[in-house]
Amino acid sequence: MAISIDIREASGVRTLHFGSDWVQGAMRIARPWNLELEYTREMMASLLLRDAPRKVLLIGLGAASLTKFLYRNYPTAHLTVVEIEPAVVAAARQFFKLPEEEKRLHLVIGDGAEYVLNSNKKFDLILVDGFDEKARTGALETLPFYQACRTRLSDDGMMAVNMLTRSRGFKATAARIAEAFDDRALVFPSCESGNAVALAAAGDLIEIPFDELKKNMLELKESTGLNLQPTLTRLAQAKTCLNDTLVL
């Protein structure tokens, strides 16, 4: 059955819905390249911890917020986007300024979990943000999927996952991410929207003092306009941040 696409606008913000009030993506019309929703900004926390990614896999397109941000601010990065619903791609192009495909933006219509399980490509960053009209993620929250993501990461790759704290399986999903990455994962405290972002790392141990994180945050804000100060506050609340140092 085809998915129902619903586009709404209020207070200068255009939102994407799958036939319900559940927001699947948002864009401030006056600033279409910015990350409007808090959780999308938080999914960029890896930019504070490792070098700028050269190859990025995005699972779930939505309103193309993450895709557009990376496309605009990291012109040397190659982006692969896997979206299961062709209608979502059409809506992103028509209403949310998704750039036309070219050399550094590759769109795949297909199942994100199957793509990862069957791929042999390596990525520096994997962003998982795929939900259906009932806010279900299906295979995108299973241990085999997260293990496959770990396999698909480059030596110092990272994965960010958007989760819903109101989901009955939230804690179990977070535990599966931790298991797949040998406990090298952290879950930020929940956003006001009820979204919580999990970050997981491969490769060398990450050990960054908060002073250095703050410096990275200011440089990122200067170069992209993205303000991750609230994210640093969340990191300070996470259990992994002992002695004013982020360890992952």
Write out the two tokens for 162: 């958007």
Q: H or E stretch including 92?
A: helix 86-95
What pLDDT does 68 receive?
96
Please give the backbone phi and psi of residue 7, each rounded to the nearest 5 degrees, phi first: -110, 130
The amino acid present at 142, given as its one-letter code, is T
Write out the two tokens for 59: 């699972």
Predicted model pTM:
0.94
pLDDT in tens, the chain (248 residues): 567 888 999 999 998 888 777 788 899 999 999 999 999 999 999 999 999 999 999 999 999 999 999 999 999 999 999 999 999 999 999 999 999 877 899 999 999 999 999 999 999 999 998 765 555 666 788 899 999 999 999 999 999 999 877 667 788 899 999 999 999 999 887 666 678 899 999 999 999 999 999 999 999 999 999 999 998 887 777 666 777 888 88
What pLDDT does 14 receive?
93
Task: Judge: domain 34-205, CATH 3.30.230.10.
Answer: no
Q: Would you kindly state where each structural domain of the chain is located, as residue ranges?
A: 34-205
Beta-strand runs (E) in 129-175 = 153-164
What pLDDT does 21 receive?
74
Q: Which residues are catalytic?
A: 129
DSSP state of 122: -
Alpha-carbon span 189 to 66, nearest angstrom: 20
Best CA proximity match to 89, nearest among 116, 103, 109, 72: 109
Residue 91 near residue 97, CB atoms below 8 Å: no
What pLDDT does 131 receive?
65
